[in-house]
Structure formats: C-alpha cells, structure tokens
Structure 1
Amino acid sequence: MDSPEKPTRLSGEEARAGATPHMTRYILPISLTLIIVIFAIMVFR
C-alpha cells in the first residue's frame, strides 16, 4: 500500500482504465433521428 504522504500520479489513459472509442458521435445523431421519425409517424397516423 502507498504511504498517505506520497500522491499517486496516473496518466490519462491509466485513469480511464480502458479504450475510448468515438462511437458516440455516430450513435447520438442516428438515435435522435430515429426517435424523431418514430414520434412523427405516431403523431401523423
């Protein structure tokens, strides 16, 4: 165990502890578009 006086330094990659794929920039607009289309279909039926 580290001593309380010595702070632990982590890099950004170590702190995230995983990969950060850039899928959100595609998933968010696609899902938002689908929701708007579904709601439009429901309203105009």
Structure 2
Amino acid sequence: MKTKEHDQIVETPTEARQAKPGPSILMLLAIGIGLVVLILGVVWLIFFHQSISG
C-alpha cells in the first residue's frame, strides 16, 4: 500500500514494478526485422540483380 513519508510517496518493490503496459516488444522487434529485410531486398535488387541478369 502506498504511504506518504516526508512529502514523498513510498511504495513496495512489487507496487513500483507495476507499470502501465507499453507497446509490445515482440511487435517492435517484428517490425524492425521486417524493415531490415525490406531494405536489404531493395538494395539487392538495385545493386546485385542487374549485374546477374545483365
């Protein structure tokens, strides 16, 4: 239970760890990897695909 000591709120360690959930780390990782794959695919098409087929 939150208590107030010397104009400061004091919480137990369990209460202090209970933050509001933010964006999903798994979703952030998936989007990041997807963007990297997309960028590398575009780079491959621009630089390497032309030299192989031409």
TM-score, reference length from structure 2: 0.46
3-state DSSP of counterpart to 1:30: helix
Number of residue pairs aligned between Structure 1 and Structure 2: 35
More strand by share: 2
1-structure distance, mates of 2:26, 2:38: 19
Unpaired runs of 5+ residues, structure 1, are 1-8
- Matched to 1:10, the amino acid is P
1-structure distance, mates of 2:41, 2:26: 23
**How far 1:10 sits from its partner (Å)?**
2.1
Unpaired runs of 5+ residues, structure 2, are 1-11, 47-54
Q: 4+ residue stretches of structure 1 with deviation over 2 A? A: 16-22
More helix by share: 2
| Identity across matched positions, percent | 17
Q: Which has the higher contact order (CA 8 A, sep 6+)?
A: 2
Between structure 1 and structure 2, the one with the greater Rg is 2
